Each structure stands twice: as C-alpha cells, then as structure tokens.
Chain A
C-alpha cells in the first residue's frame, strides 16, 4: 500500500460482453486505485477472465467503457493497449514456442513498451524478477509449466506495465511456488505496479490483495476485504450453492 496515491488508474463503466445470447459480462463497473492489488474471484463462468480479455483488448466489448489513466481505451487494439501501459498474463501459458526465453522477452521489450529506450535493461529486469536468468538461452517449450507461467509474467513486465492483469497464475502450483509468486507480485506492487489478480485460490488472494471483487454471472456481487467476503451471504450462496 506504500504506492497508493489514491488516483484511479482504471475505471470500468457498465462493461458488457456477449457471446451469442449469453452475457459473459453484464454491466460490470469497477474502479481500481493506483498501486493496489485487487483480487478478482468467483465461480467458473462468472466472467473474471472475460473481464481481463476485454480490458486487455483481446475481446471487443458490446457495451460500456474502459478508461485507463483518464483515457478511453474501449475496444482499441490489444497492442495499442499494451503500449499504453496495460499488460496481462494468460491462465494457460502461451509462450512463443521456437523462441528462446530471452527472445520471448525481447519481442515484448522491443514492441510493447511506449519508451523504446533501455530495451536491454528491461530484458534483464524481467529475467531477474522472474528468476529465469539461467534459462535465457533455453527454448520456451523446454520449460516446465510453472516456468512458462513465469515467462508469461516476464514477457508482460518487459513492456513496463502500469497495470498488470494476472490470470490464475497460482493454479497447480506447490505451496513453495505460491509463496514465491506472491512475493514476486508484492514486489511489483512495491515498485508501483497496480495489479488485478484473477484467482480461485482465496488463500493466495489473502496473501497479496488489498481488496477482492467477487463476480457471479457477469456481475460484481461483492467488493471489500477478503475476510468480509467470507461473511457475506450472497458470496456464501454463490460459492456454496443453496
């Protein structure tokens, strides 16, 4: 919270995303203050990943607005959003196969950052942050799935993001790996990066977030501290049924 300057870095208003007749996002509104880590949780199909996909420009929305740093970025191309300072990781790692770890990061450092200087520094910063310096000349396909997740994070960091959208990075990790990633994300927060972390593991969110937003059926149903969420009737109903 040391970098919380109380400025709103992301403002989402009435965001709608439809797939046919199904409304994956049904008028979601959300404000995120700069320097915070916000957890985004909810059952499968609640719209968490769709939210990230729309904010990052991978999907076009069917309504609503996304405002980043005061600028309307609704439905602009993904690569332009990246250059404005928003990046994301994928739930299932999608490294650039055939390219080395360093090349994966280099591509992002060269193309993704608004400031085209200091490419080498950003590559080294990303590699050291994710702890894959020793793997820089390895092909991406030779990495373990955890290392591929880290590579996705490193690729995103190389673009110098102000807002990082992290999609289920903790799934399938050991306790030791969870702790490592949690420290990594907290370290990014200390450096002034704002994070939205989509996650099923509430314990992991408890380790890192300032607040959580719980979604269900494309809508926000709760926002607040994670311990408050566990006492909220609607949250309990959504997670436990009944």
Chain B
C-alpha cells in the first residue's frame, strides 16, 4: 500500500508540477500573481472536450493545438494588461485584483455558452490508443493514462529546461527574472520576452487542462479557483519565482496527497491549505529557499 501511494504520488506530483508551472513562470518573470491561472487550466480542459466530441481528436493531438492557441492568447493578453500593471505603484496587489476579475469573466463566459455542467473525456481513450489499459511498476498496477500524463509532464519540463538554459530567449528570460532594469540596459526587449513567457505560462496551464481529465477527473466552469489555490500551494512548496522548483513542489504535493488518500482520506481536501499555511509560516520563500530562487 505504501509503495502504491509513493509511486502513484510521484506520477500525481509530476502532473501537479505541470499544474503550477505556468503560475510560477509568470510570477518569476513579472512578479505578478495570475489569479486566473486555474481558469486557463479549465479552458484547456474545455478545449479538449469539444475537440474530442466535435472532431474525435485524441488529447495527444489537442496538445499542440492547445499550446499554440494559448501561447498566442497569452502573448496578446500580456500587452493588454501587464505593462500597465507593471507601471503601477503596487503591481503585485493590483495583479491580484485584476486577474481575479479576469477569472470571474472567464468562468461567467464559459457558463453562459456551455452551462454549469461537468464535462469529461473517457479515461479509456489512451487504453484504446495503445491497446493496453494498465501497467505494473514494483508490483503495483496503475492506469496507462497516468503513464501517458507523466511522460507528457516530463517532456514539458524538459522543453522548459531547454528553453531556459539552452536558448537565447531563455537567457533573456532568466535575465529579466534576475533583474528587470539590468535586463533592459543589457539591451533586452523586456516586454517582448515577458510576453512570450506569459504566453508560455498560459500555454502550460492549458496543457494541464488537456491532461486533467486523466488525473483529477471531470472539468467544470468553477474549478479554476481550487486549481489556482493548489497551484499556489505547489509553487510555495517549491520556490516562488523558480519555475523548475515547481516540479519539486508538485512532487511533494502529489506524494502528500496520495499518502493522505491512502491513510487519512477524509482529510485529503484540507491538505493543500494546511501545507500552504505551514510553508508560509515556516519558510515563505519556499522549501527550496533562496538557493534556487533564480532558476
């Protein structure tokens, strides 16, 4: 039972690392809190649902579509909201209020067009595709969809790692994360690079939505708020402002959730909030601390 909880927790954790990745990337680069983060996860789920039911698209095919759509959307959204926010006296506080509004608007629009119902994509979709429904690891059997999601998450983390450490754009992004003014006088078009990072953050959130059906079940318009809270817990657990630290935060969160579900299931829903309060009180910069704050 313990090994099931630990291995399952790691796979869950990889997924939650993806859930928090976009929020932390945007915070790291722009020092603003995107409270609509969970709503972009929800939008990714709705896009997957409709592409599946209208055209029969497998979620694996939806991945590049979702990334493209939300990358462009995030890029444009940056120029609408963020430069004005960053010129204000208190960008962090204003971002809370502004993106809370954006979150409410997104939720209201989805309810208006699609109703306030739960939606889902069959969990057997990958089993049909790969002609195998489960896999076994150290004597424990897991759904094949968990393996697919884990591979997608690892691939995403690898892409983000390469983007940060092995591309010209990544150097510029890290420079902005380290110091916005110094980046400007290094000749970096800070707004353009930030807009791309914002788009990547929103696209990463949507990707978590595409994969969400297979890890957290059905999607519904109001799910964004809970997902934002969970994401916030994860990035605080890892390291605020350090996107790759999010993976560590996700793993801690995933294993903790699985252990709670296994041994104290009735307390599982309280866990994110308890972890959040605990870490904020004990080590507000995140468990990984300052050493890895700058990617």
Contacts and interface: CB of A to CB of B under 8 A. Distances in A.
A82 B178 contact: no
Contacts of A77: 184, 189, 191
Contacts of B186: 79, 82, 96, 107-108, 111-112, 155, 159
B171 A155 contact: no
Contacts of B185: 56, 58, 78-79, 82, 87-88, 112, 155-156
A170 to B, nearest CB: 20
B181 interface: yes
A56 B185 CA distance: 8
A206 B179 CA distance: 33
A82 B186 CA distance: 7
B294 A98 contact: yes
| Residue of A82, A87, A96, A152 ringed by the most chain B CB atoms within 10 A | A96
A119 to B, nearest CB: 10
A149 B55 CA distance: 59
Contact of B295 (A98, A106, A112, A159): A98
B98 interface: no
B271 interface: no
B208 to A, nearest CB: 26
Interface in B140-195: 168, 171-172, 174-175, 177-179, 181-191
B293 interface: yes
A152 B174 CA distance: 17
A78 B179 CA distance: 14
Contact of B179 (A82, A94, A106): A94
Given A98-B294, A98-B295, A58 B175 contact: no
Interface string A157-180: 001000000000000000000000
Contacts of A94: 179, 181-182
Interface string B45-86: 000000000000000000000000000000000000000000
A42 interface: no
A13 to B, nearest CB: 23
The contact size tier of chain A is 20 to 34
Interface string A84-116: 000110100011111100010011101111000
B87 to A, nearest CB: 10
B182 A90 contact: yes
B295 to A, nearest CB: 6
Nearest to A112: B187
Contact of A106 (B171, B178, B188): B171
Nearest to A53: B181
Q: Is the interface of B mostly helix, strand, loop or mixed?
A: helix
A108 B187 contact: yes
| Residue of A88, A111, A155 ringed by the most chain B CB atoms within 10 A | A111
Contacts of A99: 171, 174-175, 178, 294
A97 B184 contact: no
Interface in B241-273: none
B293 to A, nearest CB: 7
A83 interface: yes
B243 to A, nearest CB: 12
Nearest to B187: A112
A58 B181 contact: yes
B188 A111 contact: yes
Contacts of B294: 97-99
B171 A98 contact: no
A103 B173 CA distance: 13
Contacts of B182: 90, 94-96, 152, 155
Contacts of A56: 185
B188 A107 contact: yes
Contacts of B188: 79, 107, 111-112
Contacts of B174: 96, 98-99
6 contacts: A77-B184, A77-B191, A79-B186, A107-B171, A107-B186, A108-B187
Given A56-B185, A97-B179, A112-B187, 11 more contacts: A57-B184, A79-B185, A87-B185, A96-B175, A96-B183, A98-B174, A107-B172, A107-B188, A111-B186, A111-B187, A152-B182
By Cβ-Cβ distance, the 9 closest A-B pairs, closest first, are A112-B187, A98-B294, A96-B178, A111-B187, A108-B186, A78-B184, A82-B187, A94-B182, A94-B179
